[in-house]
Structure 1
Amino acid sequence: MLTMRLPGLFLTLLAALLMLPPVPVRAEDVSGRPRRGRADALHAAVVRGDRALVRQLLQAGADPNAQDARANTPLMLATDAPMVELLVAGGANARAEDAQGLTLVGRIAATASREEPPVELLRAVVRAGADVDRANRAGETPLEVAARRGHIELVRELLSLGARAPSAPERTAVRVALPVSSGAGVQLAEEWGWQGRGLVFRRLHVRLLTSAAEAVSVPLEPGSPLEEALMDGELVLAVDGPDGQPVPAEVAQQTESVMQVSDEGPHVELTGWKTGRSAWKVAPALAPGRWQLIGLEALPAPFPAFTPGELEAAFESGAPLSAEDRPRWLAVLRRSPESARPIIHRMHIRLRLASGAVKTLELQLPSGC
């Protein structure tokens, strides 16, 4: 009978143990350096972001430089500037390295999100004495890691905090991916380079993944460096193949124009009406796989012939205006006919490859009222 009751007795004891209250943390539990591989209460409090508990543990004698299994000190787990300042005030070493040989700055550069770079955290650890230039085991500095990962804001912040500019600028160019439709067969990126200790926009970088003929739409953000460089005639196009080597091609440009009516600042574009296209113009080559694109100011904006009545009819039927706005814009048009003029709405960039295949990039310029 006893053997039949053992499982029930075991489960009863297990349930009782699980219901016991947690053992309170004592100073002797957290003081002294624990063995490598045993994260302590201080690590856990930092991960939770509990600054009050971190302060209590430090006052009780917790070691601010204790390491867990990956050689992480509590400071390496901090995610905000106040926690960094609290740990450093308690004796944390801001120049420590983890098991991969990464410093605090190196970890930030290797793990930062491009959307929300932890700038304040970076500033706090550098103020605490972290080495902004300490290279990882591959020989890359935090600045080079951030550049390779396309973190422009983080690169700028590292430079402002005293990081050395790279000795091999081309190798550490910053490429920021541009959104393209899935299956487009290309990778597009803005490429930034170095000018002294500053970071400046350099070129539009295109990597061809396939040689199939296709068109790729690229919307440009208003006021973006890419748009400004295209307007000013300072945009360089780089075209590489899947292996990263320059691709032989002929590059030509074509403009597509629509009618715009302006009124001392506000403007409206008739994108659904007539359009005009220029002849293709070959862009000058700079080097293998590199071309200087012709700026919009130097390219024509042709448009088909039309009558004033046709333009007014387009406003009444097809312009992107509300019923309330339409009469005001018609009055502008009748008062100042010169306010209507064609503008470049899109730029087509044709890449004619040595194989004969043709790829076209369609740069969509910002528009709207």
Structure 2
Amino acid sequence: MRLPGLFLTLLAALMLPPVPGRAEDVSGQPRRGRADALHAAVVRGDRALVRQLLQAGADPNAQDARAHTPLMLATDAPMVELLVAGGANARAEDAQGRTLVGRIAATASREGPAVQLLRAVVRAGADVDRAHRAGETPLEVAARRGDIELVRELLSLGALVPRALERTAIRVALPLPSGAGVRLAEEWGLHGRELVFRRLHVRLLTSAAETVPVPLELGSPVDEALADGALELSVDGPDGQPAPAEVAQQTESVMRISDDGPHVELPDWKTGSSAWTAAPALAPGRWQLLGLDALPAPFPAFTPGELEAVFERGAPLSQGDRSRWLEVLRRSPEIARPFIHRMRIRLRLASGAAKTLELQLPSGC
């Protein structure tokens, strides 16, 4: 006698091992009880099994030992949509009084699909401003964690900025090589519904002179702020106090050839460096960095024939593309312009020690 396929599926689901507690669920006490088959299927991301269990009558709002419903364990938007379609309550709370919006704000990885998950939950009716029992709203939690993208998304979804959060700094650490001698973060402030200031916050850990490379991603907050002339710099000494210093900026340029479309750069040809330009001081330990449009893009002199020759030899193009670009270049030589591809920010302390941040600007079309 053959058992129906659905019965076998349900039987297999019931035999799944208990769902292990996630790191964000652990509070120092052993997890009590065990989740049911629906919880287990959600944790494993098995949407087909979740659909079968819901169709067989599984309770989409059942709670485990920590009052987590299956929806609270969802990690992607399609799972959220599937559970909500099956009757899951998007406004349910766990044992700490957190909704799924609050859980996303508290635990989402910046590498994960947190924004899509958040949008799906809010579409399902979740309250974007619901505070947990300690009184923090999801926006406050995301700001405290320094998750700029989640803060931006919560604001776009209508989250209110509590008065206590206005002009509060949000700091996100930037990756730096080990032994750099500095800690570097991007810092934002909230006022009303806007992220109103953007700042590079530097904490000096050593006074030794060295250059610290800081690669920027195309379209990142620091990249956009630098291009717009809206980036500030704050500097702390090893004691955490504002550091007396002088700040100057220098640009380095390479040749770019662009004609209303994809461009070509010649980084291995000539390079031009500007003179150092002092950044205006705003307050002790704070400076206004000059935007790219306000800084020169110097380049050594060259002749059109010299450029054509090096382009023909060194441009990273196929022979056919190189020939087409050469025709455009000869017809419109003005499409060849120097382009700032690196900015150096020199911090010279009152003690005479210096450190240079080398911002490696992204290249994009």
Q: Fold-level match, TM-score > 0.5?
A: yes
Q: Name the CA distance, whole Å, in 2 between partners of 1:235 and 1:47.
A: 42
**What pairs with 1:219-234 in structure 2 (closer than 5 Å)?**
219-234=215-230
Change (3 A) 1:172 1:215: same
Q: Cα deviation per residue 1:292-340 (whole Å; 9 max; x = unaligned)?
A: 1112222222222334443333223333343333333444444344443
Match of 2:72 among 64, 72, 76: 76
Change (3 A) 1:162 1:277: closer
Q: Cα deviation per residue 1:88-120 (whole Å; 9 max; x = unaligned)?
A: x37x5834332x443332222111121234345
Secondary structure at the aligned position of 2:136 is classed as coil
Q: Name the CA distance, whole Å, in 2 between partners of 1:316 and 1:275.
A: 18
Secondary structure at the aligned position of 1:179 is classed as coil
Match of 2:313 among 317, 321, 324: 317
Q: Name the CA distance, whole Å, in 1 between partners of 2:60 and 2:181.
A: 54
Segments of structure 2 that go 5 or more residues without pairing to the other structure are: 1-10, 15-31
TM-score, normalized by length of structure 2?
Answer: 0.76
Change (3 A) 1:166 1:211: farther
2:60–2:83 Cα contact (<8 Å) kept? no
Structure 2 residue 257 is the aligned partner of structure 1 residue 258: no
| Identity level (%) | 75
Structure 2 residue 214 is the aligned partner of structure 1 residue 215: no
Deviation of 1:86 after TM superposition, in Å, equals: 5.0
Q: Name the CA distance, whole Å, in 1 between partners of 2:299 and 2:85.
A: 66
Q: Please, what is the CA RMSD of the aligned residues?
A: 3.4
The amino acid that maps onto 2:73 is L
Q: Cα deviation per residue 1:137-178 (whole Å; 9 max; x = unaligned)?
A: 554321111122233332233234442213234674333333
Structure 2 residue 362 is the aligned partner of structure 1 residue 362: no
The amino acid that maps onto 2:93 is A
Change (3 A) 1:324 1:288: same
The amino acid that maps onto 2:355 is K
- Larger Rg, first or second structure (1 or 2): 1
Structure 2 residue 304 is the aligned partner of structure 1 residue 290: no
Secondary structure at the aligned position of 1:352 is classed as strand
Change (3 A) 1:117 1:208: farther
Q: Cα deviation per residue 1:254-304 (whole Å; 9 max; x = unaligned)?
A: 111223334344433321122221111110011122111112222222222
Secondary structure at the aligned position of 1:303 is classed as coil
Structure 2 residue 148 is the aligned partner of structure 1 residue 152: yes
Q: Name the CA distance, whole Å, in 2 between partners of 1:329 and 1:110.
A: 51
In the other structure, the counterpart of 2:179 is: 183
Q: Name the CA distance, whole Å, in 2 between partners of 1:339 and 1:63.
A: 61
How many aligned residue pairs are there?
331
Secondary structure at the aligned position of 2:311 is classed as helix
Q: Name the CA distance, whole Å, in 2 between partners of 1:244 and 1:138.
A: 29
TM-score, normalized by length of structure 1?
Answer: 0.75
Q: Name the CA distance, whole Å, in 1 between partners of 2:40 and 2:236.
A: 48
Secondary structure at the aligned position of 2:225 is classed as helix
2:84–2:90 Cα contact (<8 Å) kept? no
2:90–2:121 Cα contact (<8 Å) kept? no
Deviation of 1:213 after TM superposition, in Å, equals: 1.9
In the other structure, the counterpart of 1:85 is: 84
**What pairs with 1:118-197 in structure 2 (closer than 5 Å)?**
118-123=114-119, 125-126=121-122, 130-136=126-132, 138-169=134-165, 172-197=168-193
2:167–2:190 Cα contact (<8 Å) kept? no
Change (3 A) 1:262 1:108: closer
Q: Name the CA distance, whole Å, in 2 between partners of 1:24 and 1:237.
A: 55
Change (3 A) 1:296 1:123: closer
In the other structure, the counterpart of 1:18 is: none
The amino acid that maps onto 1:203 is R
Deviation of 1:208 after TM superposition, in Å, equals: 2.8
Secondary structure at the aligned position of 1:97 is classed as coil
**What pairs with 1:227-242 in structure 2 (closer than 5 Å)?**
227-241=223-237
Secondary structure at the aligned position of 1:168 is classed as helix
Q: Name the CA distance, whole Å, in 1 between partners of 2:246 and 2:328.
A: 44
The amino acid that maps onto 1:305 is A
Report the more deviating stretch, 254-263 or 320-329: 320-329
Match of 2:331 among 323, 328, 335: 335
1:251–1:349 Cα contact (<8 Å) kept? yes
Secondary structure at the aligned position of 2:56 is classed as helix
The amino acid that maps onto 2:352 is G
Structure 2 residue 100 is the aligned partner of structure 1 residue 104: yes
Report the more deviating stretch, 358-367 or 263-272: 263-272
In the other structure, the counterpart of 2:18 is: none
Deviation of 1:81 after TM superposition, in Å, equals: 1.4
